[in-house]
A and B are shown apart, each in its own frame.
Chain A
C-alpha cells in the first residue's frame, strides 16, 4: 500500500487516532464482509474502494483539487449532486456511522443527540475524517433540529459552511423555498469554483447522476430473486459507497456487478438458501461503518432485500428529468425531483409508508424492520404510525431503536430472532 501519511498530515489529520480508526475499521470489515460465503466477484471492486477509502480516493480528491476542481461535503440527500457536477465539482458524503470520539463530541453537544450527528462531530474533532478536511464547502441543510442547530456549532470548525434552508411541507411555498435555496447553492458553487453553470453542464450533471441512480436501481431490482443473489450487507455497502466514489466509475462497477448477479439469478444461485426469511429495512440512514443491524439480521437466518432509507432507495429511486434548455427550467426539474424524497422531517409524510409497502411487494419481503437511531425524533415518531399501518395491512413489522454502541447487541439479536421466527410461522 502506498504511503499516504504525508497527505494525511497535510490535511491536518491526527495520525495516531487515524491509525487506530483504520485498524478497527479494517478488522470489522474483515469480520463482517470478507467472512461472507459465495460473495459475488463484483464485490472485489467495492472491497478495494473500502480499503482505499482514506487512501487512493483521497489522493484522487487532492489531485483534482490541485487541478482547480472543488470538493463539496454534505450530510443529506437533499444536496443536489447535479449542481456540484455542473461546476465540475466532486460531491462527497460526510455522514459517519461509528462511535468514535463521542467524548469529544459531547464537549460541544448534548449527550442525548442522534449518534449520526455525534459521530460526525467525533470524527471532525478527533481529526480523522479526510473528507471533511478536503471539502472546500460543507453544506449544512436545515432538516431535523439536531442537524440544524449542530451546524451552528460546526460552523467555526470548518473552512466554509453553507447553510441551506429547507421546507417542512411539500406545498407550493415549500417548492419555491427549495428552488430558491438551490439557486443560492448554485451561485455559491459558481463563486467558489469560478465556473458558470450552463444548461449544457447541468444537463451533463443530471445525466451522470441519473446513470448512477439507474445502476443502483438495477441492483435493487435484482434483489427480488429468491434465493437472494447478494447479501443485504453487500448491497448496503454499495449504497454507502455511492456517496464517496467517482460517479462514472461507480456506475460501471455497479453495472458489472449486476451482470454477474443476473447470471446468478438465471442459474438459481444465491448467497442464502431459497426460502430464507426476507426482510426490508426502513428508517434512518446507515452511514459507513454502521453495519450493526444488517449483521445481526443476516446472522439470524434472514436476508435483507431492500433499504427504505437515504442510504438506499429513498435517496436513489427518483431520476431527474434532464429535458430543458435553460438553467432555470432544469432547476425546476431538480427541485421537483428532490421534493419527492419522503424524509421524515416533512409533514405530512404519508408517501413514505406507501413506498415501504410498494417495496415489500416489489422485493417480495416477508416483513419490515423499522430502524431508528436513538434520539432521532422524526423517524422515531413516524415509527409508531408506520408500524400500525403496515401491520394493519398484514405486513409484520418490528421496530428497533438503537445507537452505534455494541452493548445492546444481545437484546437486539433476541428481538430479531423472534421476529424471524414470527415470519417463518
Chain B
C-alpha cells in the first residue's frame, strides 16, 4: 500500500509517499496563496492509496480529500523517531510555529510546548529580519557566523524587533553583528521552550530553520550537546503522517 503524508505548513507544502516502509516520493513546494492548489500540484501524477494530512492546513485538506489528519506535533514525533530511533527530544522551528517535543523510550509523545500566537522566534521572524537587513536567507546565516560579537536585540515581537534592527543599523551597527544578535534571540526563545519539556537523550532539530547553520551552532553551544539534523529537516512531519497512515494506527484511533 502507498500512503501519502502531506504537511501543509504556512510557507511550504511537503509530500512524502511511503510504500512497504520505504520512502518512494519526497517533494516540497512553496505555498501559494491557496494551499489546496499547491497541494493538488504536488499530488499530480503521484499515485497513493491513502493520505494523511498534518500542518496548519490539515483540516482544509481533510474536507477536500476526505483523508485522516494528525497534529503536527504527533507527526513530528513519529517522523523523527523513525529516522533517528534514539531520539527523545525534538525541536521544530517552522515558518510560523516553534515546537519542543519530548518522547519516552517507546517513542510516544509525553510533553510538548509551542510558541504563543505571535511569530517571535519562528522562521517568519528570521525572514523578516533578513529582509530588514538586506540579506538573502542563505547569506543571513553566513553573515551572522562571521561576526565576532552580537548586537543585543531586546524586542521579541517581530514588529518591534524590525524597527529595533532598522535603528541599530542607522546608528552604525555592523550588519553581521546585528544578524548574529537576531539569531541569538531566536535561539534563546527556542531553548526556553526546550527547557520546558526537558532536554533529554538525542535531540533532533527539524523544520525549515534547521537548515540555518548559525541557529544550529548556537543551539549546540547553548545546550552543550550536538543536535541531529535529518537530511531533509522540512519533511519530517510529512514522513510522520505517511508512517501514521501506514501503521494501522488510523483505524484503532478514530
Using a CB–CB distance below 8 Å, which chain A residues touch chain B?
301, 391, 401-402, 407-408, 410-411, 413-415, 417-418, 421-422, 424-425
Kindly supply a per-residue 1/0 record for chain B positions 61-72, scoring 1 wherever the CB is within 8 Å of any chain A CB and 0 otherwise.
Answer: 000000000111
What is the distance, in angstroms, from A25's C-beta to the closest C-beta of chain B?
A: 24
Q: A421-B71, A421-B73 are in contact. Are A414 and B97 (CB under 8 A)?
A: yes
Contact A414 B108 (CB under 8 A): no
CB-defined interface of B86-106 with A at 8 Å, one 1/0 digit per residue? 000000000001000000000
| CB <8 Å contact, A418 and B112 | yes
Q: Which residue of B lies closest to A397 (CB)?
A: B111
Total interface residues on B, CB under 8 Å, equals 18
Given contacts A418-B74, A425-B108, contact A407 B56 (CB under 8 A): no
Do B97 and A418 touch across chains, with their CB atoms under 8 A apart? no
Q: How far is the CB of A384 from chain B (nearest CB, A)?
A: 9
Cβ < 8 Å to A, chain B residues 238-254: 253-254
Can you list 7 contacts pairing A with B, beta carbon distance less than 8 Å?
A402-B117, A411-B116, A414-B97, A418-B71, A418-B112, A421-B71, A425-B108
Q: A422: which B residues are within 8 A, CB to CB?
A: 108-110, 112
A401 to B114 CA separation, bound complex (whole angstroms): 11
| Contacts A410-B56, A422-B109; A417 near B71 (Cβ below 8 A) | yes
Smallest distance from the beta carbon of B92 to chain A beta carbons, Å?
Answer: 12
**From residue A240, how far is it (CB to closest CB) to chain B in Å?**
25
CA distance A422 to B71 in the complex (A): 11
Q: Is the CB of B114 within 8 A of A411?
A: yes
**Do B72 and A414 have beta carbons less than 8 Å apart?**
yes
**Does B73 lie within 8 Å of A418, measured CB to CB?**
yes
Residues of A with C-beta under 8 A to B72? 414, 418
Q: Is the CB of B109 within 8 A of A418?
A: yes
Cβ A421 vs Cβ B109 within 8 A: yes
Interface of B is mostly: mixed
Given contacts A421-B70, A421-B74, A425-B108, contact A414 B253 (CB under 8 A): no
**Chain A residues positioned under 8 Å from B111 (CB to CB):** 391
What residues on B are CB-neighbors of A415 within 8 Å?
71, 73, 112, 114
Residue of chain A at shortest CB distance from B118: A408
Task: Please name all residues of chain B whose beta carbon is closer than 8 Å to the beta carbon of A408 when the two chains form the complex.
Answer: 116-117
Q: Cα distance A401–B118 when bound, in Å? A: 12
Number of A-B contacts (CB under 8 A): 43
A417 to B59, CA, bound (A): 12
Assembled-state Cα–Cα distance A211/B46 (Å): 64
Give every chain A residue within 8 A of B59 (Cβ-Cβ): 413
- Interfacial chain A residues near B116, Cβ < 8 Å: 401, 408, 411
Most buried by B among A407, A408, A415: A415
Give Cα distance in the complex from A415 to B111, angstroms.
11
Closest A residue to B10 by beta carbon equals A410
In angstroms, how far is the closest chain B Cβ from the Cβ of A112? 12
Chain A minimum-CB-distance residue to B111: A391
Contact with A along B52-63 (1 / 0, CB 8 A): 000010010000
- For residue B85, give the distance in angstroms from its CB to the closest CB of chain A: 19
- Expressed in whole angstroms, the minimum distance between the Cβ of B117 and any Cβ of chain A is 4
User: Which of B56, B71, B74, B109: most chain A CB closer than 10 A?
Assistant: B71
Which residues in A have their C-beta under 8 angstroms from that of B71?
414-415, 417-418, 421
Residue of A nearest to B106 (CB): A425
Contacts of B74 in A (CB 8 A): 418, 421
State the Cβ distance, A224 to closest chain B Cβ, in Å: 25
> Beyond A417-B70, A418-B73: 17 further Cβ-contacts under 8 Å?
A391-B111, A408-B116, A408-B117, A411-B56, A411-B97, A411-B114, A414-B56, A414-B71, A414-B114, A415-B73, A417-B71, A418-B72, A418-B112, A421-B71, A421-B73, A421-B74, A424-B253
List of A residues within 8 angstroms of B108 by Cβ: 422, 425
A296 vs chain B, min Cβ distance (A): 12
B6 CB → nearest A CB, Å: 15
Once A391-B111, A421-B109, A422-B109 are accepted as A-B contacts, the answer to whether A414 and B117 lie under 8 Å apart by CB is no
**Which of the listed residues A391, A411, A413 has the most CB atoms from chain B within 10 Å of its own CB?**
A411
Closest 5 pairs between A and B when the two form their complex, measured CB to CB: A418-B73, A408-B117, A418-B71, A417-B71, A421-B74
Chain A, residue nearest B54 (CB): A414
Question: A275 to nearest B CB, angstroms?
Answer: 11
Q: Which of B29-80 contact A (CB under 8 A)?
A: 56, 59, 70-74
Q: How near does chain B come to A370, taking the closest CB pair, in angstroms?
A: 13
- The distance in angstroms between the C-alpha atoms of A301 and B253, with both chains bound, is 10
Cβ distance A110 to chain B, nearest Cβ, rounded Å: 16
Give A418 to B111 CA distance when docked, in angstroms: 10
Task: For A410, list chain B residues within 8 Å (CB).
Answer: 56
A-contact 0/1 string along B129-152, CB 8 Å cutoff: 000000000000000000000000
- Which of the listed residues B97, B108, B114, B254 has the most CB atoms from chain A within 10 Å of its own CB? B114
Contact residues in B for A301 (Cβ distance below 8 Å)? 254
Identity of the chain B residue whose Cβ is nearest the Cβ of A400 in the assembled complex? B116
Q: Which residue of B lies closest to A391 (CB)?
A: B111
Q: Identify the closest chain A residue to B116 (Cβ).
A: A401
Query: Which residues in A have their C-beta under 8 angstroms from that of B254?
Result: 301
Q: Give Cα A422–Cα B113 distance, bound, in whole angstroms.
A: 13
| Contact, CB under 8 Å: A407 / B117 | yes
In the assembled complex, which residues on chain B have CB atoms less than 8 Å from the CB atom of A391? Answer: 111
- Scan B207-249; emit 1 where CB is below 8 A from any A CB, else 0: 0000000000000000000000000000000000000000000
